[in-house]
Structure 1
Amino acid sequence: MEERKTGEFQVGSDLTPLDIRYQEFRLGLRGYAVAEVREYLARVADAQTALIEENERLRNRIRELEAELSKAREGEAELKRAVVAAERIAREIKAQAEREAELIKRETEAERQAALQELIEQMKRIRTEIEQVRNERDLFISQFRAMLESYLASLERFKR
């Protein structure tokens, strides 16, 4: 703000309500009505006091709002960090779950293959046993037939 000198007093940034209220003026030839000047200066001082108080109140409010804004920014930064961490953890959990699913799939496939191989081996054993039983049956039938034929031949000889 630019300062101007008028008489002995300065109008500028360091002018206080007390400066206004108690400013003394030189009297000239015709002079001023001192009571009117004093009354006017009192009103100006009161107005400036109100402005200074309002200005100080606004400065305090600005400080409060700046503090709130700072806290909000810190909270926002923490929230962003938390979101980034949560996304990273989610990706890691998903990747781990996919690895575990793949491992379970491979283990299940291996177990299936092992079970299938066991069934194939069991079927081979059963086929072998069936073949062996058939062979034993055929052997029994041929031995039984031979025995019956032998008995029949004996009966025929006995009958004659």
Structure 2
Amino acid sequence: MPLSPIDIHNKEFRRSLRGYNEDEVDDFLERVIQDYEALIRQNKQLEEEIARLNEKLAHYQNLEESLSKSILVAQETAEELKNNAKKEAQLIIREAEKNADRIISEALNKARKVALEVEEMQKQAAIFRARFRSLIQSQLEMMESGDWESFERELARREVAAAEPDFA
């Protein structure tokens, strides 16, 4: 067990005939006690400083560990966000491509229908022109033929017959 200043102060030496000078020994012991107490105080202060610095070190180590974990979490989160953004972009692109394909398909179908309708209308117009031409030609032929005069005579006869009183 280490000596304390009280142990040094209370230490008594036996006296011998040719011993040391008591006053010198007491003065030396007093200086030793003072130096020893100073060393003990300094040692205690240094131990407190070490404890304080160890606490700070532990705090900084915890902080460093927390920061390292935070950096890892941030990196993982950033990577996850980047991957999610890529996936979302791919989904948007696929959806846009599907919409574009659908729009193109609908446009092609409408164009085909319009082309068929135009073709049908052209056929109907050709048929109408042919029939109209045929009608006009038949009417011209009728006017140029002698049938027209007989038609006029028949019409006049009917008018006269309708005007005569019926005595039956």
TM-score normalised by structure 2 residue count: 0.76
What's the counterpart of residue 21 of structure 1? 9
1:67 and 2:52 correspond: no
Look at both structures and tell me which one has the larger radius of gyration over its CA atoms. Answer: 2
Q: Which structure ranks higher in relative contact order (CA pairs < 8 Å, sequence separation ≥ 6)? A: 2
* Counterparts of 1:29 and 1:99, CA distance in 2: 101
% identical aligned pairs: 29
1:137 and 2:125 correspond: yes
* Counterparts of 2:122 and 2:19, CA distance in 1: 152
Corresponding letter in the other structure for 1:18: I
Per-residue deviation at 1:73?
1.3
Name the SS of the counterpart of 2:145 in structure 1.
helix
Per-residue deviation at 1:14?
1.9
Corresponding letter in the other structure for 2:32: V
Aligned length: 147
Per-residue deviation at 1:150?
1.6
Moved more, 118-127 or 67-76: 67-76
Name the SS of the counterpart of 1:111 in structure 2.
helix
Moved more, 48-57 or 20-29: 20-29
1:153 and 2:141 correspond: yes
| Structure 2 unaligned spans of 5+ | 150-168
Q: Deviations over 1:24-48 (max 9, x none)?
A: 344553742x333322321221121
Corresponding letter in the other structure for 1:116: I
* Counterparts of 1:124 and 1:15, CA distance in 2: 112
Per-residue deviation at 1:131?
0.4
TM-score normalised by structure 1 residue count: 0.79
Q: Deviations over 1:73-131 (max 9, x none)?
A: 12222222222222222222222221222122112111111110111111000000000
